[in-house]
Structure formats: structure tokens, C-alpha cells
Structure 1
């Protein structure tokens, strides 16, 4: 097949212990999925889950043992970190029952949902979509994918983020409002999941701003950690 312009390369992630990579199709994100984070954003209770997207080319793959780089984005003066467990779909489907969700997850990774909080906040006030605050270049750094068969009890794993060596976020995946199975169930009712889809499952409390020069180091117990440096805007 020929194209009138060169096609964009397929986004992909490194895989722990393997030369093959995990191709990325879509990036789904779950909003306000930890109780304490919902509170710090001004919400309470177990509201129905809601989702937003990031483009696949927002993904910044970070190999094991390396420190990735993301450029401080344009238009914002309030760039926030949000550390998250990412589920990587290997088998797609519609209307997947929560009890069957784990069968569809190929592996897990640690990700950052970088957010232009000032722009997101302005869109909220105006009742407009969030894309300008969430879906921009290099807004989704992700570490190496660990195959599900090699992961322990991920649903009770500690999740954490340090900025310049200081704790910013620390919680446990068990505190998700909607757990992994429920997330997959809800998503697959609205969209047909497919191999290569990534699901950012939500961030715990402690989100805050970063600036150029900051080093972000995050992890989920049992997974390859993530290290990212924020570089100055061009």
C-alpha cells in the first residue's frame, strides 16, 4: 500500500525482558478514581466512572533503567503530575464482565498523566471539553510493560511518586473507587476494546505542579519503575 504522505510510526512500549514491543492503539484515562484525589479536586462519593482520551502519539516510552524526557508544554503555567497504574489490553471485546477483565489484560505499566491544570480548569468553568488540558504532546510518559503472568497482586500494590527525591503521591491500588475489572466492564460497554489499548486507571491524592528541571520517579509495586525529567520549553 502506498500513501500520499509518509504515515506516522506506530507508537509502542518496551516490554520487560523481551525484545518485542507492545504496540499502542488507543489511550483511555479514568477520571477521579481515588477517593482522596476526588476530594482534593472538589468532589466526593462514588460517582459513575467517566473517561477521556489521549492520542497514541502522546505516549513517551521509557525503557527500563533509563530516564525519559518530556518538554514543558506550551500555554500553561501549571503543569501537574498524576502517577497511575496502566493496564495494557491484549485481547479486545465488547461488554466484558468485570469478572473476566483480567483475561483481557496482557500486562501492566507505570504511567504519568501530565495535565495542564490551568487550561483544564478554565475548560471546566466554561463547560467545554478537557482536551487542551490533557491531550497534548508528551503528556503520557510510560515505563516498560510487565506481562501479567509476571505481576503479583497488582490490585493491592503500593503506588507512589517522588519529585526531586521528595514524596508527592503515595497510596495503594486497592483504594481505586472503580477497580480494574469494573473499569474494563464500563469501558467495553461504551467502546469496543482492542489489542494495544492502554487504560490509565486514575491517580491518588497529592497531585501538584512541576517545573523544568524536575525529576519525577514513580512506581507500582511489582512493576518496572518510571523516571522522567522535565526539560525547558523550546
Structure 2
């Protein structure tokens, strides 16, 4: 099982599930031609999809259109079910940088057929993830510059202030469906600018006050 570490500490968290929120930035919704959802759109990546800093994304042979999606990752530090918005941030141990790798062609085919997305979202190496910093080092997770570059070219450049659903509401909504346990991770959605990567590309994702993440594509 994959573990993540809080920077500057000896604390390691064994990752259980990775719960991902789709369609949380309005400009990203527009660029893909999706509708604004009335309720949160959630899916899960397995912990086996995680890779770390300076490792490599391996695009599966069944896809010809793999996209990057930079996201703020939230590390859960304690058990919770039906968590209120008022108590939600007390369950957060730390924040990290994630890239939600997406097989866009596969996802679109599955969506057209009304089928689940996991094949397009949960494949091995689909979740590059940085180490985490303690939550107390991020005074406001809703006011952070978030960006991603491919081969030095900026593709995504936004702020977590543009989130439609904020972290306390996300944790509330997720915990109504899935019990949250220590080591679970929530991905909070991606801003506009997603696009394809191919073999040989190098990605650098960065979130202000949180850190950076570099991975290659093969």
C-alpha cells in the first residue's frame, strides 16, 4: 500500500482511497462543454495509481489522448462520517499537489455509453502526487495560485479561489457517501487549460505555499 509523508515530520500516512471531485472550476466545465452539476460529481482512484515526484506516467496502450489536470490534494488525518462544514477542516492533516491524469478518449467513450470512468482515471500511474505539508502551514487553501507546465510551457494558470465548492463543503459531501479514514485523499478539481501529453513530455505542477511536483511521460 502506498504511503505519503508530511514534510518536516516523521509522520507517514498509508493511503486508503482517493476521492476525486469533478467539475469544480467553471472555466474547466466550459472548456469541456459539460453542464454545471447540481450535486458533486465524485469518482475514486485506487492507491495503486499513485506515483511520486520525478517518477513517470505510463500512458496505457488503449488510449491515444492522455490529459493532465493539476489539483489541490487534501490529506485526511482522522476518521469521520457525516462531517459538518464547521468541523471539516479539523479532519485535514495536510495539503499536496496532484495531477489527475485522464484518458480523455476513453473517458468520452465511457460517458457516451453511460458507463463508469475508472478505466480512464484509475490506471497505474494516473495519480502523480507530491509530499504533503501540514495544514497549519496553509492559512487559506482557497487563495492559492495553481499552475501546470508541460515542457516549460504554461498550460494551466489559475487560483483555488475559483473553486465552485470549497473544501469544507467538499468534505461534508464526500463524508455523507464515503466514511473518511486517516490516509484518505481528496482531489478538489482542476482549473481550465487541461490538454494532452505524449511520450517524452515533462510536467511541472505547482501550488503556492504547498509545493511542486515534476513527472515525466512515457
TM-score, normalised to structure 2's length? Answer: 0.96
Q: 1:157 aligns with which of 134, 137, 144?
A: 144
2:68 matched to which residue of 1?
A: 81
Q: CA deviation at 1:183?
A: 0.3
1:197 matched to which residue of 2?
A: 184
Partners in 1 of 2:44 and 2:37 — Cα distance?
21
Q: CA deviation at 1:153?
A: 2.0
Q: CA deviation at 1:94?
A: 1.1
**3-state DSSP of counterpart to 1:120:** helix
Q: CA deviation at 1:71?
A: 1.7
Partners in 2 of 1:154 and 1:221 — Cα distance?
9
Q: 1:185 aligns with which of 172, 196, 205?
A: 172
2:84 matched to which residue of 1?
A: 97
Q: Aligned residue pairs: how many?
A: 218
Q: 1:167 aligns with which of 143, 147, 154?
A: 154
2:131 matched to which residue of 1?
A: 144
What RMSD, in angstroms, separates the aligned Cα atoms of the two structures?
A: 1.2
Q: 2:4 aligns with which of 4, 13, 38?
A: 13
Contact 1:13–1:61 (Cα < 8 Å) also in 2: no
**3-state DSSP of counterpart to 1:110:** strand
Q: 1:43 aligns with which of 34, 39, 47?
A: 34
Structure 1 residue runs of 4+, over 4 Å off? Answer: none
**3-state DSSP of counterpart to 1:86:** strand
Q: CA deviation at 1:135?
A: 1.1
Partners in 2 of 1:165 and 1:152 — Cα distance?
29
Gaps of 5+ in 1: 1-9
Query: Which structure is larger by alpha-carbon Rg, 1 or 2?
Result: 1
Gaps of 5+ in 2: none
Q: CA deviation at 1:44?
A: 4.1
1:54 matched to which residue of 2?
A: 45
Q: 1:69 aligns with which of 50, 56, 76?
A: 56
Contact 1:14–1:143 (Cα < 8 Å) also in 2: no
Partners in 2 of 1:80 and 1:30 — Cα distance?
16
TM-score, normalised to structure 1's length? Answer: 0.90
